[in-house]
Structure 1
Amino acid sequence: MNDITPENELSERISAAALAIEDKVIAWRRDIHEHPELSYQETRTAALAAEHLEKLGYEVRTGVGITGVVGVLKGGKPGGVVALRADMDALPVEEKVDLPFASRATAQYLGQTVPVMHACGHDCHVAILMGVAEILAGMKDEIPGTVKLIFQPNEEGSNDGRPSGAEAMIADGCLQNPAPSAVFGLHVTSGIRSGVIALRPGGLMASADRLKIDVEGRQTHGSQPWRGIDPVVTSAQIILALQTIVSRQLDPTLSPAVISVSTIHGGVRNNILPDSVAMEGTIRTHDEGVRAEIRKRIDRTASAIAEAAGAKATVTVFDGVPVTYNDPPLTDWGTNSLKNGLDPQRVTEVRPVMGAEDFSYLARVVPGMFFFLGVVPPDVDPLQAPANHSPLFRVHEPALKYGVRALSYLAIDYLKRT
């Protein structure tokens, strides 16, 4: 068999191969979509991926990080190692899209029976990587090195104290034996027109930390607030003041950030001021220095306001995923590679996104590059399309072949340079 061909010929071969298996990729996606599984419950999806890899001749390891799958393809020529990642889990969301393969599944989530839907597009990610696996297996003898495919559980978070899927798989050796020198991944999005790839060097997606603030006052009758300490008003003052940390205490030209209080609980009757109020929220940043500074300022702000009211505020920040950081040299190279492998008009730069991704853990171990693939239907304005995590999230399936092309080309092109 001939050596790997020049860029334009390689691009044409991969494009033709992706087109040839497009129907299979769409069928896989629909099957996975109809049978979604929550975080760390992805046994059917993992078995589907593992069986596919085994048939293609990959060395397959299952049960990595609980339900993860790792496939290794050793090329016919010596070279480096590159990793590609897809996440597998769905969300506790009831599907409201009228499709013949719409999900009707339910599952147990935090002790409750809930509807389950691939509302974030991870069904697409699995199907895309299965397509990539088939293309690369067909070019095995030509590949100068080794490709490692990572099918990861629990990207969304199980909310039961267990680590994210990326953390669990790393702890279970997914980036060892062999160790890749780079990892690539993608995420479908309804915010970009179909078939367009968007990325940026540096911070692409935000860190996501969970914020909890407990305010202790002193219970009293609602008609006599002066006889107690009102934690409700104090909490309201804290919530408003937290917004000034981003708008008045941080340099907005340095890095975007968001502090959102999303839940507030306290009291049992309309005429009783309670002893305490509990709030929870999220902190999103694109810079580790800003991330640390915001934590200090939240504690200082909440504590000072509570003290002024005679109350007490206890601030707890639970570490979430770090910034999804695209290694700049790798991303500069990867952007040019994608432009060569696809149509340059399909590759663009995107602004930082405040959503978060646990791909960030993988990219902390080895240089990483993560990018978005637009899947909004052509007749829908991306600004108006239902967002990822919506029960109305919908995928324009012809976009999937561009994800297959992108990851296949990146893998081979990267190994050619190592």
Structure 2
Amino acid sequence: MKHSYLLASLALPALPAVAQNPALNARIAQLAQAEEAKVITWRRDFHQHPELGNEEKRTAGIVAAHLKKLGLEVQTNVGRTGVVGILRGGKPGPVVALRADMDGLPVTEATGLAFASTVKTTYLGQPVGVMHACGHDSHVAMLMGAAEVLSQVKKELSGTVKFIFQPAEEGSLPGVVGGAKLMVQEGVLDNPKVDAIFGLHINAQTEVGTLKYRPEGTMASSDVFTIKVKGKSAHGAYPWLAVDPVVTAAQIVTGLQTIISRQVELTQDAAVITVGMIHGGVRNNIIPEQVELTGTIRTLDKDMQQKIWAAVRRTATNIAESAGATAEVDIVNYAPITYNDPRLTEQMAPTLRRVAGPAHVTVQKAVTGAEDFAYFQEKVPGLFVFVGGMPKGKNPADTAPHHTANFFIDDSGLTLGVQTLATLAADYLGARK
């Protein structure tokens, strides 16, 4: 990734090396293993009782009660339903944050698991099920486990750990600010001020026991675009009396795809434009006055992002004009690029290799999915890691993707996640000054 992020990081001095503390690392590994059954129980309970973004009241209540039981300082209702726990170590030092997201998705589960969700709700006016179809249930359970592990070794920690349980990673309702962005606005990285933040994401196509990471641009920025194509209504039998927004919208959809295939330098970084919704018309023989397109833009480079925004506006307005119609284009950024600080990543990569074993840690390619963890990384150096949740020996092509009704995670991968979070925090705090 070749842009200002990297230039800014190169101008700063190197971060301190991590001091080896084999005894503490071994103790954390032992405690994480001892937590396995408890973490799995938590995860299955959250899976069976999912809650949509900004509605995670039950989940937040369980988290807050657990952190209070551990003796942590606890803040609730942060960013609406978020929970923050503060663990002060036995020695002075920096502040490190660990983050997990709590929300489920409007997906009707079809896994058939004994602990499958049967929760129903109405989302954007449509009846739908609610499911942890992206693994956030496991994230909450793993961070609860890491909090319990670190609370048992707090006297050996040189600094402070802030546990951030975040709502609404999957997004808030239209027009509502939420998730990491709102938590940052409310000062979650202050009092005490966070020096670095770590997060992880379970992955259904990565084998249990494996960790993956990538320096610099790791997950794409996510932009939501809306294009309102306005024409002139008429009877469907007399299209010459209309300015047809349906045909114009169809041409715009095709035109948008040529931005990626013909205007973007894809050897530099990947990019995606997807039209996900088309709304227009009420009857088969009436040409409507307006059609609305909604979709997503994914980029891994800020300069490329701005070029694509300009190309979307140019393509939509000019195609509409050629048909005698008009196009109003609105683009909103949902999440910035998930950017792993290269110096912090280099500093902590040895920790990942010690935790999982060198043969089970790989540097992965960039992902065009998005994560609002990026808002934390805009304020402080951050590292986002993927932990395996696919059963051993299974072919990734045979697993259900994230955000689908058959999404499945192997519980045996959670212990590695607990150990990874706790060891990253302990090793960072133990870095030589």
Common fold by TM > 0.5: yes
- 1:383 alignment partner, SS class: helix
Which residue of structure 2 aligns with residue 71 of structure 1? Answer: 85
Q: Out of 157, 160, 163, which is 1:149 matched to?
A: 163
What is the correspondence of 1:217-232 to structure 2 with a 5 Å cutoff?
A: 217-232=231-246
Q: 1:334 aligns with which of 348, 351, 356?
A: 348
Aligned to 2:394: 380
Bigger mean CA offset, 333-342 vs 365-374: 333-342
Looking at structure 2, the residues matched to 324 and 72 of structure 1 have their Cα atoms a distance apart, in angstroms, of 25
Whether 1:310 aligns to 2:324 is yes
Tell whether 2:303 aligns with 1:289. Answer: yes
Q: Give the residue type in structure 2 aligned to 1:31.
A: D
Tell me the CA shift for residue 378 of structure 1. 2.1
Which residue of the partner structure matches residue 15 of structure 2? none
Written as runs of structure 1 = structure 2, the 5 A alignment for 1:28-107 is 28-107=42-121
CA distance in 2, matches of 1:333, 1:366: 15
Name the amino acid aligned to 1:208: S
The 1-side partners of 2:325 and 2:345 are apart by 49
* Residues 137-171 of structure 1: CA deviation (Å, up to 9, x unaligned): 00010100000000111111122422131112112
- Whether contact under 8 Å (1:170, 1:362) holds in the other structure is yes
- Alignment gaps of 5+ in structure 1: none
CA distance in 1, matches of 2:429, 2:34: 24
Among residues 393, 397, 412, which one is paired with 1:398 in the alignment?
412
CA contact (8 A) 2:300 2:337 kept: yes
Counterpart CA distance in 1 for 2:342 and 2:55 is: 35
- CA 1:382–1:201: 2 relative to 1, 3 Å: same
Q: Is the 8 A contact 2:209 2:356 kept in 1?
A: no
In terms of mean alpha carbon deviation, does 400-409 or 92-101 score higher? Answer: 92-101
Equivalent positions of 1:339-358 (< 5 A) are 339-358=353-372
RMSD over equivalenced CA pairs, Å: 1.6
Of 276, 280, 286, the match for 1:262: 276
Structure 2: segments with no counterpart, 5+ residues: 1-17
Partner of 1:115: 129
The answer (yes or no) to whether the contact 1:195–1:400 under 8 Å persists in 2 is no
CA distance in 2, matches of 1:350, 1:77: 36
The Cα shift of 1:232 comes to 1.6
Tell me what 2:207 maps to: 193
Which stretch shows the higher mean deviation, 315-324 or 128-137?
A: 315-324
C-alpha deviation, 1:48, in angstroms: 0.9
Alpha-carbon distance between aligned partners in 2 of 1:224 and 1:110, rounded to the nearest angstrom: 35
Q: 1:223 to 1:108 in 2, by over 3 A?
A: closer
Distance 1:96 1:107 in 2: 16
Question: 1:273 Cα shift?
Answer: 2.2
- Of residues 136-145 and 7-16 in structure 1, the stretch that sits farther from structure 2 once superposed is 7-16
Q: 1:270/1:107 Cα in 2 relative to 1: closer, same or farther (>3 Å)?
A: closer
1:126 matches 2:145: no
8 A contact 1:189–1:387 mirrored in 2: no
TM-score, normalising length: structure 2: 0.93
Alignment-mate amino acid for residue 402 of structure 2: N
Partner of residue 301 from structure 1, selected from 315, 321, 342 = 315
Tell me which of 216, 220, 223 is aligned to 1:202.
216
Letter in 2 for 1:403: G
Q: Is the 8 A contact 2:210 2:356 kept in 1?
A: no
Alignment partner of 1:275 out of 276, 279, 289: 289
Match of 1:235 in 2: 249
Q: Residues 196-228 of structure 1: CA distance to partner in whole angstroms, max 9, x if unpaired?
A: 111101111111111111111222333332232
Query: How far apart, CA to CA, are the structure 1 residues paired with 2:127 and 2:235?
Result: 39
Per the TM alignment, residue 314 of structure 1 is displaced from its structure 2 partner at its CA by 1.1
Residue 5 of structure 1 and its aligned partner are, at CA, apart by 8.8
